[in-house]
Amino acid sequence: MNTLHPEPHLALIVEDDPDVRALAGALLEETPLDVVEVESAEAALDCLQERGGEVAMMFADVRLPGEMDGVQLARAACTLWPTVRVVLTSGDPGAASDDLPECVTFMPKPWRGLDVLVQAEKAIHDPQPPVT
């Protein structure tokens, strides 16, 4: 395995609704990022543990099946993989609460494709600085 840090080139989509996940995936396929789609926070963490250094952006719903929700996933990602650009989305206007970590961008549903692409561009060209 290559021990050098690979350039981040993955977009990780975490969404339990297959239609929304497919739409986000189709949008992000238009970027230089490779797309990985999962439906739970646990699956997202598995992916991050295997390929965290490759992930440029995580686009996740707040409400997810399983033990963890999107906010808990975002907290873990911001702590363990601080260079990943984390975008949380929800149809619940109360989800954009003060509980969100500073590193998270919140995007209400229904989101616009252009807004998702803007976040992907930021993930590619303006990655989060590592915490020092």
Instruction: Say if 48 falls within a structural domain.
Output: yes
Give per-residue pLDDT as tens, 33-80.
999 999 999 999 999 999 999 999 999 999 999 999 999 999 999 999
Domain membership of residue 5 (yes or no) is no
* 1 has a pLDDT exceeding 50: no
pLDDT at 131 over 90: no
Inside any domain, residue 27: yes
Is residue 5's pLDDT more than 80?
no
pLDDT in the model for residue 130: 66
Residues across the chain = 132
Q: Is residue 100 part of a domain?
A: yes
In a domain, 132, yes or no: no
Task: Order across the sheet with 10-14: list the strands.
Answer: 34-38, 10-14, 55-61, 85-90, 104-108
The answer to whether position 2 is within a domain reads no
2 pLDDT higher than 70: no
Q: What is the dihedral of CA 110, 10, 53, 127, to 10 degrees?
A: -60
- CATH number, domain with residue 90: 3.40.50.2300
- Structural domains counted in the chain: 1
For 77-119, the pLDDT digits (tens) are 999 999 999 999 999 877 776 678 888 999 999 999 999 999 9
What pTM, to 2 d.p., does this model score?
A: 0.91
Residue 15, classed as helix, strand or coil, is coil
Q: Which domain holds residue 115?
A: 10-125
118 Cβ contact list (under 8 Å, min separation 6): none
What local confidence, expressed as pLDDT, does residue 100 receive? 84
